[in-house]
Structure 1
Amino acid sequence: MILKSSEWFSLNQIECCTTLAYQDGYPKHSHQEYILSANLSGVERIWLNGKTSFVQSGQVTCYNPESIQSSTFAEQPTRFISIHIPQHALIDVIRENHLSSGHSAPVLTEGVLHHPELFQYIQSFTQQHSTEHTQQAFLLLCASLFQSPQFADHQTSHAIRLLQDYMRTELTRKISLDELSQISGLSKYYLIRSFKKFVGIPPLQYHMQLRIHCARDLLRQRVHSLDAATALGFYDQSHFIQSFKKIMGITPHDYAQQLHLSRKKFSIPRNHHVH
């Protein structure tokens, strides 16, 4: 019998863990927090409100505080990520963004959810390593969880274009969500949700792509990768390499080297004339 939780950590009082389980289970129990889980592999059998359901890989489970639930796992290993969200965290998001006139904790749809977007955001939240990106990932998760109406009028689209123009002029440093919120006049919650709707990716990732594109132009001009990183405000060389590779699929050094070699390979001799 195996039921093993690992990588248990806390992000701003929101606790996360990865669990591997088979031939075991959790007896009937409850939590004080909201529980969101993303099933990465295997099958989990859950009991909730007198009903038994099966959670397949790629699906999400959601439990409200104090809900009684239980789980069992068969011989095939099941691996899942769980996020424990304090009630005050969701109440704060709702109050700060005027999503409800009340101040009580929301009641979420419970049980097994086929919700690819929410599944993605649960994974993304547990993979963040900076305060800004953690906050952005959590607000995206909340927006997906609440399934609030689209905030997509003409005024908002104008604000998003304004932010895009601003980010194109600020490539030599990191920008913050607070800064973008102040410029656009949108709360961070609506800023992140609206930006992703209009552009396709969240604002911090968009700005990072702009900086990497600029780095690529510098490397094309044979600027050394270390100098390119410094010019764009990447004072941590490993962070620059990791960010460049994530977008380009290759390290800055290898990109510059291969580009230089290809120029030699396909260069046309000066005395050669094309007729």
Structure 2
Amino acid sequence: MSLSSSDWFSHNGIECSRVNASGSRFPRHLHDEYVICANLSGREEIWLDGKVKEAFAGQVTIYNPSAIQSSQFSQDTVSFVSIHLPQSTLSQLLGNTAAPALREGVFNDARLFQAICRFDAVARQGDETLLEQQLLWLCGELLDDSASLQQGDVQIIHQVKQFLRDHLNEKPQLEVLAQLAGISKYHLVRRFTQLTGLPPLQYHMQLRLHRARELLRQRVHPLDAALQLGFYDQSHFINAFRKVMGTTPHHYAQQIALPQNKFPVA
């Protein structure tokens, strides 16, 4: 029997950790905040409001503040990301209204699952702007404002996308993008992600990396390409390029320069 928490992170009252458990249990308990989990592996048996449910890998569990719940973990290792979100966070997003009651229990929700895992990953990178965006994305999925897009949203997001294309050499700020769009940062991230499939900062990074590839094809040195696109941290540029292109900028440039094109270029 084992139960452990690792990679613990705390920021502005929000706590995030990875929990690993095997053959152990959480007795009945409650929390002051929302608890949102993405189940990565194993099987968890949950008691909530007198009902027993099972949670498996790929599913999401949500508990409202003060909800009484308990968990029994299978002998196979159970692993999940757990985020403890203060009521004040959602209250502020909704204009300082009363904290809402979320849907509660076990769900198949691929978008929310992705948002939880992405927040967990970004939480440890130390980028305040990116972390804020991921929090807005996560809250948008939690609140599930999936009503049809407002008339004019497509044009607004088109303007934001054009602004991002015109400013590839600088890091955009959510405040600036929200002002350009004339909407709140929360609605900007939510609407932009709905229409494009990516939050605005990740979308901007994709544009920068594809421009970097164009420059490398034009025989621009990787260092010069990085500087042209505002990457003053070379390791950041290399890691970002590798993650999207599957190779380093230097190796990509070398392969492009070969007389025989043995390197597949999408």
Q: Deviations over 1:86-142 (max 9, x none)?
A: 11011011117xxxxxx2111111111111111111001111121111111111111
Secondary structure of 1:61's partner?
A: strand
**Which residue matches 1:6?**
6
Distance 1:193 1:151 in 2: 12
SS of the residue 1:26 aligns to: strand
- Asked if structure 2 preserves the Cα contact closer than 8 Å seen for 1:151 and 1:190, the reply is no
For 1:255, the equivalent position in structure 2 comes to 252
What do residues 159-195 of structure 1 show as CA deviations (whole Å, max 9, x unaligned)? 1111111111111111111110011111111111111
**Residue pair 1:4, 1:21 contacting (<8 A) in 2 also:** yes
1:217 aligns with one of 190, 214, 218: 214
Question: Given the alignment of the two structures, is residue 144 of structure 1 paired with residue 138 of structure 2, yes or no?
Answer: no
Q: 1:16 aligned to 2:16?
A: yes
Matched, 1:118 2:112: yes
CA shift for structure 1 position 41: 0.2
Aligned pair count? 259
Relative distance call for 1:184 and 1:151 in structure 2 (3 A) is: farther
- Find runs of 4+ consecutive structure 1 residues off by over 3 angstroms: none
**3-state SS, counterpart of residue 120 of structure 1:** helix
Seq. identity, %? 48
User: Do the aligned residues in 2 keep the contact of 1:46 with 1:52 (CA within 8 Å)?
Assistant: yes
Unaligned runs of 5+ in 2: 262-266
CA apart distance, 1:151: 5.7
- Tell me the equivalent position of 2:264: none
Q: Give unmatched runs, 5+ long, in structure 1.
A: 97-102, 267-275
SS across alignment from 1:17: strand
Q: CA RMSD in A?
A: 1.5
SS of equivalent residue, structure 2 residue 231: coil
Letter in 2 for 1:13: G
Provide the C-alpha distance between the structure 1 equivalents of 2:48 and 2:112, rounded to a whole number of angstroms.
Answer: 20
CA distance in 1: counterparts of 2:167 and 2:80, whole angstroms: 39
> 3-state SS of the aligned residue for 1:107?
coil
> Which protein is bigger by CA-based radius of gyration?
1
- Structure 1 equivalent of residue 225 of structure 2: 228
Cα distance in 2 for partners of 1:14, 1:220 equals: 44
What is the CA-CA distance between 1:74 and the residue it aligns to?
2.0
Counterpart in the other structure of 1:82: 82
Partner in structure 2 of residue 36 of structure 1? 36
* Contact 1:44–1:54, Cα closer than 8 Å, also in 2: yes
**Aligned ranges 1:70-219 → 2 under 5 Å:** 70-95=70-95, 103-128=97-122, 129=125, 130-150=127-147, 152-219=149-216
Normalised TM-score (structure 2): 0.93
